[in-house]
Amino acid sequence: MDANLKKLLDTCRTSIVDGKQNPENDWKLFTVSNITKDGLPNSRYVVLRDANFTEKAEITFYTDSRSGKFEEFQKSPHASLCFFDRHVGLQLVMNASVSLYNQDKTAEDYWQKTPWRSLQCYYMKEKPGETLKTPFVLNPNELSEDQAYQFFTVVKCTIHSWDILLLTKTGNERASCEFNSHGEFKKAAWIAP
């Protein structure tokens, strides 16, 4: 593989893994797009909770099992993830298959190791998207930990490919690559932006 291409792929891999623990990293937040039950696209921001690009290519975020995307992913387990580092001018789009973990060992492990401030949104008796008479105010005492935990869902995205766009003054660079089942790069190439 071309040395500069390898360097770009390695930079993306290092940065995405750093993003899971570094709130200053722009890749801590990303958009997830999927297809709704009406067959239309829908996107929203989520927080990067885990990233593994050594033994497998996998991105993890959390969601509420009552949110629209939970049922949508059950019906159509495919997603496009989009990250943008505005400091470097680097966009990374990932094509993924989605698996949901709710009230199982995986969900329990993440629940236990996640700080309360990141879990308090699950202590909400209202269903996400429900119509309210007044603006929402979180009252976490309304639900017990067991009740909140029921809604907590770990979403694991198995990454199949990357599409990278690096903005440069001399003409933007674009590259693509696929992953094998061990999370290794395969079929990497420069492509036209």
Question: Interface with ligand FMN by CB under 6 A: which residues?
Answer: 29, 42, 44-47, 61-64, 67-69, 128-129
Contact 188, 176 (CB under 8 A): yes
Q: CB 73 → ligand FMN: shortest distance, Å?
A: 9
Which CB sits closer to ligand FMN, 87 or 169? Answer: 87
Which CB sits closer to ligand FMN, 63 or 158? Answer: 63
Least Cα distance to 110 among 146, 61, 42 occurs for: 61
Q: CB 60 → ligand FMN: shortest distance, Å?
A: 10
Q: How far apart are CA 147 and CA 78, in angstroms?
A: 28
Q: Is 40 helix (H, G, I), strand (E, B) or coil?
A: coil
Token pair listed for 165: 């766009």
Q: How far apart are CA 163 and CA 171, in angstroms?
A: 17
Q: CB 63 → ligand FMN: shortest distance, Å?
A: 3
What's the angle, vertex CA 128, arms to CA 125 and CA 134, rounded to 5? Answer: 75
Token pair listed for 160: 């199949």
Which CB sits closer to ligand FMN, 42 or 74? Answer: 42
Which CB sits closer to ligand FMN, 63 or 95? Answer: 63
Q: CB 119 → ligand FMN: shortest distance, Å?
A: 11
